[in-house]
Amino acid sequence: MENINRKWMLVEYNDFAKAELTKFEANIDLTKRAEAPNQYGAKMGCNGMFFTAEFNKGKAKFSSVGSTMMFCAGTMKLEEKFGKDLPNMNQYKIEGHFLTLSNADGDKMKFIAADWD
Ramachandran quadrant class, 44 (left: phi over 0; alpha: psi -120 to 50; beta: rest) = alpha
Distance (Å) of CA 94 to CA 55, 85, 102: 12, 19, 12
In this structure, is the dihedral angle defined by the CA atoms of residues 73, 79, 12 and 22, taken in order, positive or negative? positive
The predicted pLDDT at position 33 comes to: 86
User: What residue ranges define each of the domains in the chain, with the CATH number in brackets?
Assistant: 7-113 (2.40.128.270)
* Intervals of the chain under pLDDT 70: 1-2, 117
pTM summary value: 0.92
The predicted pLDDT at position 1 comes to: 46
